[in-house]
Structure 1
Amino acid sequence: MGQSQVVGPSEPIVALVGDDVILPCHLEPAVDVVSGSVEWGRPDLEPRFVHVWHLGQDLLVNQNPSYQGRTSVSAENLKHGDLSLRLSAVKHSDNGKYRCYFASQAKETTQTAVTFGSVSAPVISGINLNSSTVVLECESKGWYPEPEVLWLDGEGNLLSAGPTETVRGPDDLYTVSSRVTVEKRHSNTECFPATSVSTVRFTMVLVVILIFTCVAAFVVWKWTQNQMKGTGPVLCDAHN
C-alpha cells in the first residue's frame, strides 16, 4: 500500500449544467481502500469539504452546503483503488479545482472541472433578400464561458458575418445570436458556437447538436417550401 500513487486526469473535465459527471481519481497500483479515508475538497471554498469517506462510510458532517445530496463515492470501486467522485446535477458554481486526497498515503492530486452550461442546439432561420441571397440567423442559449460564433460554408470555409450579439442571463449563462448573408448555393452553411477555452473538447457535443439542428432545419425548410411554393431559403445542410 505504501507504494501506491494517487493519480488524477491529465485534462480538465468538461460537463454540462444539469448533467451528472465523474471526477476520476485512482491509486496505482490499485489497493483496497474501502476501510481508509478519502477526502474530496475545493481549496477555494469554506468549508472546503465536497465529500469525505472515512472507515467504510460517508462522513458528511462538514460538507459544504452547496454539495449536499449531490456527491457520492462507490464502496465497490474503493475496493479496487478507485477514489472517483460522482457529482450530480452539475451547477455553474461547481466550476473550479478539486482535490482528491487519500489520507493513508498523505498524497493528493488536483483537477479542474469545467462547466459549459445547458447548451441548446443552434436554431437557424432564413430570410430571403432576393432570388440569389438569403440572411441566415443562428441563436443558441445556455453557454458558459461566453462563446464566439463561427459560420462555415459547405466546403468548410469561414464566412464573414456581422457582430455577434451576446446576452448574459441571471443564471450567468450566455445567449448568443449572429447573422450572415450568403448565396443560396451555400446549401451546407452551418454555425458553430464554441468557447475559446475548449473548442476541441467540445467537438463531440457539437456533432450531436448539429445532427439535431440539421434535422430541425430540414423540417423548417420543408414547411417553408410548402408555404412559399418553392421560393423559401436554403437552410443548414438542406441540399438543393
Structure 2
Amino acid sequence: MVHFGVFVLGFSSALWSFTAAHAEDKGRRLIGPGQPIEASEGDDVILPCSVSPDYNVEDLTVEWSLPDLKPDPSDRLRRVDYVFVYRRRREEVHMKLRAFVGRTELFEDELKVGNISLKISNVTLADAGKYRCFIPKLEGGVKEAVVRLVVEPRANSTLTTETQTYSPTPEPNRETGVEVGRPPLRTLVVCGCIALVVVVAGFGVAYFLLKRCVREKETLHHLIKPIPASLLNVI
C-alpha cells in the first residue's frame, strides 16, 4: 500500500508538472509597450516587443511590418510591407522596404529570451505610424502586437520653417531686443564707420591733389619772367 501510494503521488506530481508546462506553453503571447513611442527626427529609436513568458525564438520567423501603409501600385502582388524579416536565423534583406534598408535591426543575442524589439536608426518624419511585430509559429496565445511610433521634427528645422514663412512680418526678439529680419546694431555701426573712413580718405586725397596743383602753378609763374619794357619798345 505504501509503494502504491508513493507511485500515485509521483504520477500525480508528474502529471501536474506536464499540465502546467503545457498550459504555460499555450499561454505565450507577444507584448508591446501599450503606449506610443516618441522620438525626434534623426534619432535612433527602439520599438519594444517581446514574448511573455521568456521563450527562445531563434529558430522561429520574426516579422515587423507596417499594417497601415497603402499598397504599392507598382507591386500589387505584394500584400505586406515588411520593415524587417528574420527567418532561418538570418535577416531576409530582399523582403524589406527600400526606405528601411540598412536602418532596421533586431537584437539577435536577445532572441533566446524572446526579445524581438526593433531598432530603427536615423528616424524620419515618414517613419511615424503603426508597426506590427509578428511570430507566425508562436504556439498558443497572442502571436502579434502593435507599436505606434510618433516622430517629432527637430527644433532647428521648425525654427527655420517659421522664419521663412513669417519673414515679411518680423517680430522683436525678446532676448536680444533685435527684430528678426533687420540687421543688428553692431552691423550698422561697422558699416557707418567704414563709410566715414572712405569719406575722410576721399577728402584727404582731394585736398592733396588741390594743394599740389596750386604749387605747380606757383612754380610755373616764377619760371616765366616778364618781358622788359625796352624790348617791347624796340619791337
TM-score by length of 2: 0.52
Does 2:103 match 1:70?
yes
1:118-158, Cα deviation, whole Å (9 max, x unpaired): 2239xxxxxxxxxxxxxxxxx8357xxxxxxxxxxxxxxxx
- Tell me, which stretches of 5 or more residues in structure 1 are unaligned? 122-138, 143-164, 169-176, 183-223, 225-240
State the shift of 1:35 in Å: 1.0
Residue 110 of structure 1, aligned match among 115, 122, 146? 146
Q: For each residue in 1:207-231, what CA deviation from the matched residue of structure 2 results, as whole angstroms up to 9, or x when unmatched?
A: xxxxxxxxxxxxxxxxx9xxxxxxx
The higher relative CO (CA closer than 8 Å, separation ≥ 6) is in: 2
The residue type paired with residue 133 of structure 2 is C
Q: Is residue 23 of structure 1 aligned with residue 23 of structure 2? A: no
- Correspondence list, 1:68-107, <5 A: 68-105=101-138, 107=143
- Identity across the alignment (%): 32
**The residue matched to 2:102 in structure 1 has which SS?**
coil
Q: Deviations over 1:138-195 (max 9, x none)?
A: x8357xxxxxxxxxxxxxxxxxxxxxx6767xxxxxxxx976879xxxxxxxxxxxxx
8 Å contact kept, 1:16–1:119:
no
Structure 1 residue 49 corresponds to structure 2 residue 73: no
Question: Among residues 60, 82, 94, which one is paired with 1:61 in the alignment?
Answer: 94
Aligned-partner SS, 2:99:
helix
Which segment is superposed worse, 7-16 or 112-121?
112-121
Do 1:100 and 1:109's aligned partners in 2 also have CA atoms closer than 8 Å? yes
SS state of the match for residue 96, structure 2? coil
Higher helix share: 2
1:57–1:16 distance in 2 versus 1, CA, 3 Å:
same
Please state how far the C-alpha of 1:17 moved relative to its aligned partner.
1.1
Q: In 2, distance between residues paired with 1:99 and 1:52? A: 12
Quick one: structure 1 residues 178 and 19, their matched pair in 2 at CA, closer, same or farther if it must change by over 3 Å?
farther
Structure 1 residue 6 and structure 2 residue 30: aligned? yes
Give the match's secondary structure for 2:147.
strand
How far 1:44 sits from its partner (Å)? 2.7
SS of residue matched to 1:99: strand
**How well do the aligned residues superpose, as a CA RMSD in angstroms?**
2.9
Residues matched between the structures, number: 138
Distance in 2, matches of 1:107 and 1:167, equals 48
SS in 2 for 1:66: helix
Equivalent-residue separation in structure 1 for 2:163 and 2:31 (angstroms): 39
2-structure distance, mates of 1:178, 1:24: 44
In the TM superposition, what is the alpha-carbon distance from 1:2 to its structure 2 partner? 3.0
Q: Which amino acid aligns with 2:123?
A: V
1:120 counterpart (130, 134, 156): 156
Structure whose CA Rg is larger: 2
Q: 2-side partners of 1:167 and 1:64: how far apart?
A: 34
2:62 to 23, 28, 38: 38
Query: Which is worse superposed, 44-53 or 95-104?
Result: 44-53
- In 2, distance between residues paired with 1:21 and 1:86? 6
* Residue 62 (structure 1) shift: 1.6
